[in-house]
Amino acid sequence: SANMIQVQFSKANNAPLAAALSVSSLMIVAFISIVFVLINRKYLGGIKLSRASKYLKIFAYTYLIFLYAPALLLHIFSFNSSQIISFPLTGFTTYWFERLLYQETLHEAFKNSMIVEFLNILATTLGVLASRSSTRYNFTGKQISLTFILAPLVLPEIIVGVSLLTVLIQLGLSLNLWSVVLGHTLLIMPFSILIMNSAFNNLDISLEEASMDLGENQIGTFFRIILPLVFTGIMASLLI
């Protein structure tokens, strides 16, 4: 959708349609964020903030308003009947939002984006498993393995992309949506590991030991005790 917004601005010279697309994208992101907040409040009781954290929260909101307030001005032009960005507005219309319903390219891009984002669960799952093993156990080659897994964080994305493209071509694999999912997983998994490392490091190991002492096996302890305690980290990883 970001590419389509850029195309509408630079090539098609249709600012209102680009603004309408921006508004729609913002609404989708806001809806997803609200869903995750409600899940956190319902199942985890919300995160209780200290006094210092509340001041940090105020600062964060102020920063976000300062950052996105100019962008909100653009959305006004999505209701303008003219394609020219200027004040005063020539008239109020919802025509540009109606146009979005007939943009087949947008529909295809949205479907592909949803598939890739849904399969982001794969990167998060791998991140959870890698973080759990690296924070809980010591094994031969642990540091070397983590170094290779986290390498995409320090390497330029163009190098990672070209390397992945070369590997796919040499293996004779076709370039399709699944290759995009593979590249997305490769780039996202290191971030997921860093987030989950923080969550697992803050985990009280005595809770796991208590569960084992009470007769629960390792698998049951992992799903019933450990995962709920790091649920916020998993949600943060899924939002990447």
- Indicate if the pLDDT at residue 200 is higher than 70: yes
Shortest CA distance to 92 belongs to which of 70, 102, 72, 77? Answer: 77
Express each pLDDT in 11-53 by its tens digit: 555 556 666 666 666 666 666 667 666 666 655 554 555 555 6
- The candidate with the shortest Cα–Cα distance to 208, out of 196, 222, 197, is 222
Collapsing DSSP to helix, strand or coil, 92 comes out as strand
For the chain, how are helix, strand and coil distributed in percent, rounded to 5?
Answer: 75, 0, 20
Phi, psi dihedrals of residue 239, rounded to the nearest 5°: -80, -5
Contact (Cβ atoms closer than 8 angstroms) between residue 199 and residue 232: yes
- Amino acid letter, 45: G
pLDDT bracket for residue 207 (50, 70, 90): confident
Tell which wins on pLDDT, 7 or 101: 101
Q: What is this structure's pTM?
A: 0.60
The better pLDDT of the pair 36, 230 is held by 230
pLDDT at 33: 66
Question: Three-state SS across 138-170?
Answer: CCCCHHHHHHHHCHHHCCCHHHHHHHHHHHHHH
Assess whether pLDDT exceeds 70 at residue 91.
yes
Phi, psi for 92 (deg, rounded to 5)? -95, 135
96, two tokens: 């540009």
pLDDT at 188: 84
H helix or E strand, kind and range, residue 62: helix 51-76
**Mean pLDDT, range 80-92, rounded to an integer:** 69
